[in-house]
């Protein structure tokens, strides 16, 4: 199989399987100071914590859709870089198009129900039930979009806002502050922000202390819809095989709220394969 299609399919596998991995948060003393539950650890600056949090959620301005170029790098288990374009319709879909010499060579389409991808040169495609792959884990397309755009979220409810004050804990130390949503189905996850820039730096997630995974962010940029991550590096490990992929957004060329149309049509004459076979071929 061509390395190009591997990179696209492996990226999708990393993104999806990310929601079955992660990192637990530590326990501290719970305080009900201010509007939000806060975890206190000594002489924490609660005022700064609340200010950082409120500035962050205020920067999560509403959007309906976006079309933006991207650079995709597969870092492990092999290295490869390609370019493409991503179209997101909020709460509905993510469409990824990989073009070579002006022609679409591969694509992927993710909705709340399904994930599809095709590679035109080899005439192969995948079509999977997203709920089956996630094993009942309540991640939605809105959660995935928030993750890619660098916005903290509560699983099943999308980007965090001020009405979700019973859904998470806040904490702060000298270098960073955190949003830790409550565990769900034995899954713990947390968002870590830098104090100096107030930018999201890390999202970590786990299941029962196993299969740890991370999203690492490289800062954010102010856009027409608020702050958006410049890119994200997603890493995990599946059956002792490290998987790592990086997406860098070309935010200067992003087009917001233009009502693009995206859809998936099963290609005729293509052979269907599954994600498991892609991983075995690496």
pLDDT at 25: 37
For residue 115, give its domain range.
Answer: 3-280
Place of tokens 């958006």: 228
- Report CA dihedral (259, 232, 172, 161) to the nearest 10 degrees: 10
pLDDT at 2: 52
- Poorest-confidence range of 51-55, 85-89, 109-113, 186-190? 186-190
pLDDT in tens, 45-81: 888 888 899 999 999 999 999 999 999 888 887 787 8
Q: In the chain, which residue ranges form alpha helices assigned H by DSSP? A: 3-18, 46-58, 130-134, 141-149, 275-280
What percentage of the chain has pLDDT greater than the value 70? Answer: 76
- Under a CB-based contact definition with an 8 Å cutoff, are residues 226 and 60 in contact? yes
pLDDT in tens, 16-41: 445 444 333 334 444 444 456 666 55
CATH number of the domain to which 41 belongs: 2.50.20.10
pLDDT range class, residue 85, cuts 50, 70, 90: very high
Note the residue count of the chain. 282
Count of domains for the chain: 1
- Poorest-confidence range of 41-50, 116-125, 162-171? 41-50
Taking phi first (over 0 means left), then psi (-120 to 50 degrees means alpha), and beta for anything else, what does residue 53 get? alpha
The whole-model pTM stands at 0.85
- For 194, which DSSP code? E
Q: Show Cβ contacts of residue 30 under 8 Å, excluding neighbours closer than 6 positions.
A: 37, 38, 39, 40, 169
pLDDT in tens, 127-154: 888 776 665 566 789 998 999 999 999 9
């Amino acid at each position: 199989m061509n390395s190009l299609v591997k990179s696209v399919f492996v990226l999708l596998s990393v993104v999806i399987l990310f929601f079955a991995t992660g990192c637990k948060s530590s326990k501290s003393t719970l305080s009900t100071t201010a509007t939000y539950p806060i975890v206190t650890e000594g002489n924490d600056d609660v005022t700064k914590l609340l200010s950082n949090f409120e500035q962050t959620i205020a920067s999560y301005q509403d959007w309906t859709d976006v079309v933006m170029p991207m650079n995709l790098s597969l870092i492990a288990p092999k290295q490869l870089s390609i370019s493409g374009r991503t179209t997101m319709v909020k709460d509905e879909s993510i469409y990824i198009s990989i073009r070579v010499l002006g022609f679409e060579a591969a694509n992927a389409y993710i909705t709340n129900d399904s994930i599809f991808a095709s590679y035109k040169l080899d005439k192969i495609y995948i079509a999977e039930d997203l709920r089956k792959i996630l094993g009942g884990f309540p991640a939605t397309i809105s959660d995935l979009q928030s993750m890619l755009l660098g916005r903290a979220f509560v699983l099943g409810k999308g980007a965090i806002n001020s009405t979700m004050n019973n859904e998470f804990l806040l904490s702060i130390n000298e270098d960073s502050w955190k949003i830790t949503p409550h565990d769900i189905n034995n899954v713990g996850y947390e968002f870590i922000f830098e104090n100096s820039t107030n930018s999201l730096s890390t999202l970590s997630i786990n299941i029962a202390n196993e299969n740890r995974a991370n999203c690492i962010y490289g800062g954010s940029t102010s856009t027409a819809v608020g702050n958006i991550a410049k890119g994200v590096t997603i890493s995990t490990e599946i059956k002792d095989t490290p998987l790592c992929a990086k997406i860098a957004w070309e935010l200067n060329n992003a087009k917001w709220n233009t009502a693009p149309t995206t859809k998936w049509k099963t290609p005729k004459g293509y052979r269907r394969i599954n994600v498991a076979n892609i991983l075995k071929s690496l």
